[in-house]
Amino acid sequence: MTNETLLGVDDLTIAFGPLTALDHVSLSVQKGERLALLGHNGAGKSTLFRAILGFLFLNTGTIRIADAAPGSERARRAVSYLPEAVAFPKALTGSEVITYFARLKGEPPRKALELLETVGIADASKRRVGTYSKGMRQRLGLAQALIGRPDLLLLDEPTSGLDPISRGEFYDLVDRVARQGAAVLLSSHSLTEVEAKTDRVAILSKGRLVAEGRLADLAGAAALPIKVRVRAKGADADALHAKIGGRRLNGRLVELDCGTGDKMAVLSRLAALGDVVADIEIETPRLDDVYRHYSKPPAPGDAA
Ligand SMILES: Nc1ncnc2c1ncn2[C@@H]1O[C@H](COP(=O)(O)OP(=O)(O)OP(=O)(O)O)[C@@H](O)[C@H]1O
Protein backbone atom coordinates (compact mmCIF):
# COMPACT_ATOMS: atom_id res chain seq x y z
CA MET A 1 0.00 0.00 0.00
CA THR A 2 1.54 3.35 -1.04
CA ASN A 3 0.65 6.69 0.57
CA GLU A 4 -1.35 7.39 -2.60
CA THR A 5 -3.51 4.31 -1.91
CA LEU A 6 -6.84 5.55 -0.58
CA LEU A 7 -8.49 2.11 -0.59
CA GLY A 8 -6.60 -1.11 0.03
CA VAL A 9 -8.49 -4.41 0.16
CA ASP A 10 -6.33 -7.43 0.89
CA ASP A 11 -7.42 -11.09 0.86
CA LEU A 12 -10.98 -10.20 1.87
CA THR A 13 -13.44 -13.01 2.51
CA ILE A 14 -17.00 -12.42 3.67
CA ALA A 15 -19.43 -15.26 4.30
CA PHE A 16 -23.11 -15.19 5.15
CA GLY A 17 -23.52 -18.58 6.77
CA PRO A 18 -22.68 -21.19 4.10
CA LEU A 19 -22.59 -18.57 1.29
CA THR A 20 -19.22 -17.01 0.48
CA ALA A 21 -20.13 -13.58 -0.92
CA LEU A 22 -16.50 -12.45 -1.29
CA ASP A 23 -13.72 -14.97 -1.68
CA HIS A 24 -10.14 -13.77 -0.97
CA VAL A 25 -10.55 -10.49 -2.87
CA SER A 26 -7.65 -8.02 -3.13
CA LEU A 27 -7.76 -4.68 -4.91
CA SER A 28 -6.71 -1.08 -4.42
CA VAL A 29 -7.71 2.38 -5.59
CA GLN A 30 -5.20 5.20 -5.75
CA LYS A 31 -5.65 8.94 -5.30
CA GLY A 32 -7.28 10.43 -8.40
CA GLU A 33 -8.20 7.04 -9.83
CA ARG A 34 -11.60 5.68 -10.94
CA LEU A 35 -11.96 1.92 -10.59
CA ALA A 36 -15.08 0.26 -12.01
CA LEU A 37 -16.43 -2.78 -10.21
CA LEU A 38 -18.23 -5.11 -12.61
CA GLY A 39 -20.09 -8.35 -12.06
CA HIS A 40 -23.40 -10.13 -12.56
CA ASN A 41 -26.21 -9.80 -10.03
CA GLY A 42 -25.06 -11.44 -6.80
CA ALA A 43 -21.34 -11.24 -7.71
CA GLY A 44 -20.55 -9.45 -4.43
CA LYS A 45 -20.32 -5.76 -5.41
CA SER A 46 -22.69 -4.39 -2.75
CA THR A 47 -21.14 -6.68 -0.15
CA LEU A 48 -17.76 -5.10 -0.91
CA PHE A 49 -19.24 -1.61 -0.47
CA ARG A 50 -20.88 -2.58 2.82
CA ALA A 51 -17.60 -4.05 4.06
CA ILE A 52 -15.70 -0.88 3.13
CA LEU A 53 -18.32 1.14 5.01
CA GLY A 54 -17.59 -0.97 8.10
CA PHE A 55 -20.94 -2.77 8.34
CA LEU A 56 -19.73 -6.37 7.96
CA PHE A 57 -17.57 -8.87 9.82
CA LEU A 58 -14.49 -9.81 7.75
CA ASN A 59 -13.88 -13.58 7.74
CA THR A 60 -10.37 -13.08 6.35
CA GLY A 61 -8.28 -10.17 5.20
CA THR A 62 -8.08 -6.45 5.79
CA ILE A 63 -9.51 -3.22 4.43
CA ARG A 64 -7.72 0.13 4.81
CA ILE A 65 -9.31 3.44 3.90
CA ALA A 66 -6.77 6.28 3.83
CA ASP A 67 -4.82 3.98 6.18
CA ALA A 68 -7.69 3.62 8.66
CA ALA A 69 -9.89 0.64 9.53
CA PRO A 70 -13.44 0.53 8.11
CA GLY A 71 -16.00 2.06 10.45
CA SER A 72 -13.35 4.03 12.41
CA GLU A 73 -13.85 7.75 12.90
CA ARG A 74 -11.04 8.48 10.42
CA ALA A 75 -12.45 6.11 7.78
CA ARG A 76 -15.98 7.48 8.18
CA ARG A 77 -14.65 10.97 7.50
CA ALA A 78 -12.66 9.78 4.49
CA VAL A 79 -15.37 7.78 2.71
CA SER A 80 -18.68 8.78 1.13
CA TYR A 81 -21.31 6.50 -0.32
CA LEU A 82 -23.98 7.04 -2.95
CA PRO A 83 -26.46 4.16 -3.25
CA GLU A 84 -28.22 3.23 -6.48
CA ALA A 85 -31.59 4.65 -5.50
CA VAL A 86 -30.91 7.55 -3.22
CA ALA A 87 -33.90 8.62 -1.09
CA PHE A 88 -34.24 11.91 0.74
CA PRO A 89 -37.24 13.23 2.69
CA LYS A 90 -39.61 14.47 -0.02
CA ALA A 91 -40.82 17.46 1.96
CA LEU A 92 -37.33 18.98 2.34
CA THR A 93 -35.82 21.30 -0.26
CA GLY A 94 -32.44 20.53 -1.85
CA SER A 95 -30.81 23.20 0.33
CA GLU A 96 -32.36 21.76 3.47
CA VAL A 97 -31.12 18.26 2.62
CA ILE A 98 -27.57 19.52 2.12
CA THR A 99 -27.67 21.67 5.26
CA TYR A 100 -28.92 18.66 7.25
CA PHE A 101 -26.13 16.36 5.99
CA ALA A 102 -23.47 19.05 6.39
CA ARG A 103 -24.43 19.39 10.06
CA LEU A 104 -24.38 15.60 10.51
CA LYS A 105 -20.88 15.53 9.08
CA GLY A 106 -19.77 18.56 11.12
CA GLU A 107 -19.08 20.60 7.98
CA PRO A 108 -20.05 24.26 7.43
CA PRO A 109 -23.45 24.30 5.60
CA ARG A 110 -22.49 27.41 3.59
CA LYS A 111 -19.58 25.59 1.93
CA ALA A 112 -21.70 22.46 1.41
CA LEU A 113 -24.45 24.46 -0.30
CA GLU A 114 -21.92 25.48 -3.00
CA LEU A 115 -21.99 21.82 -4.05
CA LEU A 116 -25.51 22.33 -5.41
CA GLU A 117 -23.88 24.65 -7.94
CA THR A 118 -21.16 22.06 -8.64
CA VAL A 119 -23.71 19.36 -9.47
CA GLY A 120 -25.88 21.74 -11.50
CA ILE A 121 -29.06 21.93 -9.42
CA ALA A 122 -28.57 25.31 -7.70
CA ASP A 123 -31.64 26.64 -9.54
CA ALA A 124 -33.80 23.98 -7.90
CA SER A 125 -32.29 24.36 -4.42
CA LYS A 126 -35.46 25.93 -2.97
CA ARG A 127 -37.74 23.27 -4.45
CA ARG A 128 -38.92 20.25 -2.51
CA VAL A 129 -37.06 17.04 -3.29
CA GLY A 130 -40.43 15.39 -3.97
CA THR A 131 -40.64 17.44 -7.19
CA TYR A 132 -37.14 16.40 -8.41
CA SER A 133 -36.57 14.06 -11.35
CA LYS A 134 -34.48 10.90 -10.79
CA GLY A 135 -31.47 12.63 -12.38
CA MET A 136 -31.82 15.62 -10.04
CA ARG A 137 -32.09 13.30 -7.03
CA GLN A 138 -28.88 11.52 -8.08
CA ARG A 139 -27.14 14.89 -8.47
CA LEU A 140 -28.36 15.87 -5.01
CA GLY A 141 -27.06 12.50 -3.79
CA LEU A 142 -23.68 13.24 -5.32
CA ALA A 143 -23.64 16.72 -3.71
CA GLN A 144 -24.40 15.04 -0.37
CA ALA A 145 -21.61 12.51 -0.95
CA LEU A 146 -19.14 15.30 -1.76
CA ILE A 147 -19.68 17.20 1.50
CA GLY A 148 -16.35 17.52 3.31
CA ARG A 149 -14.28 16.53 0.23
CA PRO A 150 -14.10 12.77 0.84
CA ASP A 151 -10.91 10.90 -0.05
CA LEU A 152 -12.86 7.88 -1.27
CA LEU A 153 -16.19 7.93 -3.12
CA LEU A 154 -18.21 4.72 -3.33
CA LEU A 155 -20.84 4.91 -6.07
CA ASP A 156 -23.18 1.91 -6.29
CA GLU A 157 -24.68 1.88 -9.81
CA PRO A 158 -24.95 5.67 -9.67
CA THR A 159 -26.39 6.19 -13.15
CA SER A 160 -28.96 3.40 -13.33
CA GLY A 161 -32.25 4.85 -14.53
CA LEU A 162 -30.69 8.07 -15.83
CA ASP A 163 -31.04 9.19 -19.45
CA PRO A 164 -27.87 9.24 -21.63
CA ILE A 165 -27.29 13.00 -21.26
CA SER A 166 -27.67 12.88 -17.47
CA ARG A 167 -25.34 9.85 -17.38
CA GLY A 168 -22.70 11.74 -19.35
CA GLU A 169 -22.99 14.78 -17.11
CA PHE A 170 -22.84 12.60 -14.00
CA TYR A 171 -19.59 10.98 -15.17
CA ASP A 172 -18.15 14.42 -16.01
CA LEU A 173 -18.73 15.38 -12.38
CA VAL A 174 -17.11 12.16 -11.15
CA ASP A 175 -14.17 12.85 -13.43
CA ARG A 176 -13.81 16.32 -11.97
CA VAL A 177 -13.88 14.97 -8.40
CA ALA A 178 -11.20 12.38 -9.27
CA ARG A 179 -9.02 15.06 -10.87
CA GLN A 180 -9.24 16.96 -7.59
CA GLY A 181 -7.65 13.92 -5.90
CA ALA A 182 -10.47 11.65 -4.72
CA ALA A 183 -10.35 7.90 -5.33
CA VAL A 184 -13.56 6.57 -6.87
CA LEU A 185 -14.89 3.01 -6.73
CA LEU A 186 -18.06 2.61 -8.75
CA SER A 187 -20.18 -0.36 -9.66
CA SER A 188 -22.09 -0.52 -12.90
CA HIS A 189 -23.85 -2.88 -15.27
CA SER A 190 -23.34 -0.46 -18.14
CA LEU A 191 -20.11 -1.58 -19.76
CA THR A 192 -20.02 0.93 -22.60
CA GLU A 193 -20.33 3.78 -20.16
CA VAL A 194 -17.67 2.46 -17.80
CA GLU A 195 -15.29 1.77 -20.68
CA ALA A 196 -14.92 5.44 -21.49
CA LYS A 197 -15.23 6.85 -18.00
CA THR A 198 -12.95 4.87 -15.70
CA ASP A 199 -9.23 4.16 -15.43
CA ARG A 200 -9.29 0.48 -14.46
CA VAL A 201 -11.86 -2.28 -14.10
CA ALA A 202 -12.21 -5.06 -11.54
CA ILE A 203 -14.44 -7.99 -12.46
CA LEU A 204 -16.12 -10.04 -9.73
CA SER A 205 -17.66 -13.41 -10.49
CA LYS A 206 -19.45 -15.32 -7.73
CA GLY A 207 -17.42 -13.51 -5.09
CA ARG A 208 -14.03 -14.01 -6.73
CA LEU A 209 -11.99 -11.29 -8.38
CA VAL A 210 -11.42 -12.80 -11.83
CA ALA A 211 -9.72 -9.84 -13.50
CA GLU A 212 -8.36 -6.44 -12.56
CA GLY A 213 -6.45 -3.87 -14.58
CA ARG A 214 -6.58 -1.46 -17.49
CA LEU A 215 -8.88 -2.53 -20.29
CA ALA A 216 -6.08 -2.71 -22.86
CA ASP A 217 -3.94 -4.85 -20.53
CA LEU A 218 -6.80 -7.23 -19.76
CA ALA A 219 -7.64 -7.55 -23.44
CA GLY A 220 -3.95 -8.24 -24.19
CA ALA A 221 -3.65 -10.82 -21.40
CA ALA A 222 -6.78 -12.58 -22.62
CA ALA A 223 -5.33 -12.57 -26.15
CA LEU A 224 -8.74 -11.47 -27.45
CA PRO A 225 -8.80 -11.25 -31.23
CA ILE A 226 -8.96 -8.05 -33.23
CA LYS A 227 -11.92 -8.16 -35.59
CA VAL A 228 -11.30 -7.15 -39.20
CA ARG A 229 -14.55 -6.44 -41.03
CA VAL A 230 -14.21 -6.47 -44.80
CA ARG A 231 -16.87 -4.97 -47.09
CA ALA A 232 -17.21 -6.69 -50.45
CA LYS A 233 -17.27 -4.64 -53.64
CA GLY A 234 -20.57 -5.07 -55.52
CA ALA A 235 -22.22 -6.57 -52.43
CA ASP A 236 -20.69 -9.97 -53.25
CA ALA A 237 -19.85 -11.30 -49.80
CA ASP A 238 -19.94 -14.91 -51.05
CA ALA A 239 -17.07 -14.36 -53.48
CA LEU A 240 -15.09 -12.52 -50.83
CA HIS A 241 -15.81 -15.18 -48.22
CA ALA A 242 -14.60 -17.89 -50.61
CA LYS A 243 -11.29 -16.02 -50.98
CA ILE A 244 -10.56 -15.00 -47.37
CA GLY A 245 -12.59 -17.36 -45.14
CA GLY A 246 -13.79 -15.99 -41.79
CA ARG A 247 -17.46 -15.29 -41.03
CA ARG A 248 -19.98 -14.01 -43.59
CA LEU A 249 -22.00 -11.43 -41.61
CA ASN A 250 -24.46 -10.46 -44.36
CA GLY A 251 -24.52 -9.94 -48.14
CA ARG A 252 -21.80 -7.30 -47.99
CA LEU A 253 -19.64 -8.04 -44.92
CA VAL A 254 -17.16 -10.75 -43.98
CA GLU A 255 -15.41 -10.75 -40.59
CA LEU A 256 -11.97 -12.17 -39.75
CA ASP A 257 -10.29 -12.58 -36.36
CA CYS A 258 -6.59 -11.87 -35.99
CA GLY A 259 -4.04 -11.41 -33.21
CA THR A 260 -2.20 -8.10 -32.71
CA GLY A 261 0.94 -9.62 -34.22
CA ASP A 262 -0.84 -10.77 -37.40
CA LYS A 263 -2.75 -7.58 -38.10
CA MET A 264 -0.36 -6.10 -40.68
CA ALA A 265 -0.03 -9.40 -42.53
CA VAL A 266 -3.82 -9.77 -42.72
CA LEU A 267 -4.21 -6.18 -43.96
CA SER A 268 -1.55 -6.69 -46.65
CA ARG A 269 -3.29 -9.86 -47.81
CA LEU A 270 -6.61 -8.01 -48.04
CA ALA A 271 -5.06 -5.02 -49.83
CA ALA A 272 -3.54 -7.40 -52.40
CA LEU A 273 -7.05 -8.66 -53.27
CA GLY A 274 -7.78 -5.25 -54.80
CA ASP A 275 -11.00 -5.39 -56.79
CA VAL A 276 -13.16 -7.53 -54.44
CA VAL A 277 -12.65 -5.36 -51.34
CA ALA A 278 -14.57 -2.08 -50.96
CA ASP A 279 -13.58 -1.16 -47.40
CA ILE A 280 -11.92 -2.51 -44.24
CA GLU A 281 -12.80 -1.74 -40.62
CA ILE A 282 -10.73 -2.82 -37.62
CA GLU A 283 -12.32 -3.32 -34.22
CA THR A 284 -10.10 -3.78 -31.18
CA PRO A 285 -11.59 -5.68 -28.16
CA ARG A 286 -14.14 -3.72 -26.14
CA LEU A 287 -14.98 -3.94 -22.47
CA ASP A 288 -17.96 -6.22 -23.11
CA ASP A 289 -15.65 -8.71 -24.90
CA VAL A 290 -13.22 -8.56 -21.97
CA TYR A 291 -16.07 -8.88 -19.46
CA ARG A 292 -17.55 -11.87 -21.26
CA HIS A 293 -14.15 -13.52 -21.43
CA TYR A 294 -13.35 -13.18 -17.74
CA SER A 295 -16.74 -13.59 -16.07
CA LYS A 296 -18.39 -16.94 -15.83
CA PRO A 297 -21.88 -17.24 -17.32
CA PRO A 298 -24.50 -16.37 -14.70
CA ALA A 299 -26.37 -19.14 -12.93
CA PRO A 300 -30.05 -19.50 -13.98
CA GLY A 301 -32.06 -16.61 -12.53
CA ASP A 302 -28.93 -14.46 -12.12
CA ALA A 303 -29.34 -12.47 -15.34
CA ALA A 304 -27.77 -8.99 -15.23
N1 LIG B 1 -27.13 -10.21 4.58
C2 LIG B 1 -27.03 -11.26 3.74
N3 LIG B 1 -27.35 -12.49 4.13
C4 LIG B 1 -27.23 -13.55 3.30
N5 LIG B 1 -26.78 -13.46 2.02
C6 LIG B 1 -26.46 -12.23 1.57
C7 LIG B 1 -26.56 -11.07 2.39
N8 LIG B 1 -26.15 -9.99 1.66
C9 LIG B 1 -25.81 -10.48 0.45
N10 LIG B 1 -26.00 -11.80 0.39
C11 LIG B 1 -25.69 -12.69 -0.76
O12 LIG B 1 -24.35 -12.43 -1.12
C13 LIG B 1 -24.20 -12.52 -2.54
C14 LIG B 1 -23.61 -11.21 -3.09
O15 LIG B 1 -24.63 -10.23 -2.99
P16 LIG B 1 -24.36 -8.69 -3.41
O17 LIG B 1 -25.58 -7.93 -3.00
O18 LIG B 1 -23.06 -8.25 -2.85
O19 LIG B 1 -24.25 -8.81 -5.00
P20 LIG B 1 -24.16 -7.63 -6.08
O21 LIG B 1 -22.99 -7.95 -6.95
O22 LIG B 1 -24.18 -6.31 -5.42
O23 LIG B 1 -25.50 -7.86 -6.92
P24 LIG B 1 -26.44 -6.78 -7.68
O25 LIG B 1 -25.76 -6.45 -8.97
O26 LIG B 1 -27.70 -7.57 -7.89
O27 LIG B 1 -26.64 -5.61 -6.77
C28 LIG B 1 -25.59 -12.85 -3.10
O29 LIG B 1 -25.68 -14.24 -3.28
C30 LIG B 1 -26.51 -12.38 -1.98
O31 LIG B 1 -27.74 -13.12 -1.99
CATH number of the domain within which 30 lies: 3.40.50.300
Same domain, 99 and 27: yes
Span from the CA of 22 to the centroid of ligand 1 (angstroms): 9
- Nearest ligand 1 atom to alpha carbon 22: 14
Q: Is residue 258 part of a domain?
A: yes
Among 260, 258, 285, smallest CA distance to 270 is for 258
Question: For 73, phi and psi rounded to 5 degrees?
Answer: -55, -45
Question: For 160, phi and psi rounded to 5 degrees?
Answer: -65, 135
* Least confident span in 23-27, 75-79, 271-275: 271-275
- Nearest ligand 1 atom to alpha carbon 304: 25
Same domain, 209 and 254: no
How does pLDDT run across 273-299, given as a tens digit for each residue? 888 899 999 998 888 888 888 885 545
Mean pLDDT of 95-118: 93
Judged by DSSP in three states, 147 sits in coil
Q: Is residue 295 part of a domain?
A: no
Enter the DSSP assignment of 298.
P
**Separation between Cα atoms, residue 159 and residue 167, nearest integer Å:** 6
Same domain, 202 and 260: no
Same domain, 173 and 242: no
Same domain, 14 and 161: yes
Q: Please, which residues have CB within 8 angstroms of residue 151's CB and are 6 or more apart in sequence?
A: 6, 31, 65, 66, 78, 79, 181, 182, 183
Protein residue with its CA nearest to atom 17 in ligand 1: 46
9-13, 136-140, 244-248: which is most confident: 9-13
Boundary of a domain, candidates 183, 214, 245? 214
Which residues sit with their C-beta closer than 6 Å to ligand 1? 16, 19, 21, 39, 41-47
Same domain, 276 and 150: no
Among 255, 219, 86, smallest CA distance to 158 is for 86
Span from the CA of 186 to the centroid of ligand 1 (angstroms): 16
Boundary of a domain, candidates 187, 214, 241? 214
Same domain, 81 and 177: yes
Same domain, 107 and 136: yes
Total structural domains within the chain: 2
Judged by DSSP in three states, 190 sits in coil
Same domain, 58 and 190: yes
Tell me what ipTM this predicted complex has.
0.97
Same domain, 159 and 258: no
Same domain, 150 and 9: yes
- Nearest ligand 1 atom to alpha carbon 39: 21
Q: Is residue 291 part of a domain?
A: no
**Separation between Cα atoms, residue 56 and residue 79, nearest integer Å:** 16
Angle, CA of 57, 301 and 167, to the nearest 5°: 75
Range of the domain at 116: 5-214
Same domain, 132 and 157: yes
Angle, CA of 141, 144 and 146, to the nearest 5°: 110
* Least confident span in 17-31, 144-158, 190-204, 242-256: 190-204
Residue 46 has pLDDT above 50, yes or no: yes
- Nearest ligand 1 atom to alpha carbon 44: 18
Span from the CA of 143 to the centroid of ligand 1 (angstroms): 27
Contact between residue 100 and residue 143 where contact means Cβ atoms under 8 Å apart: no
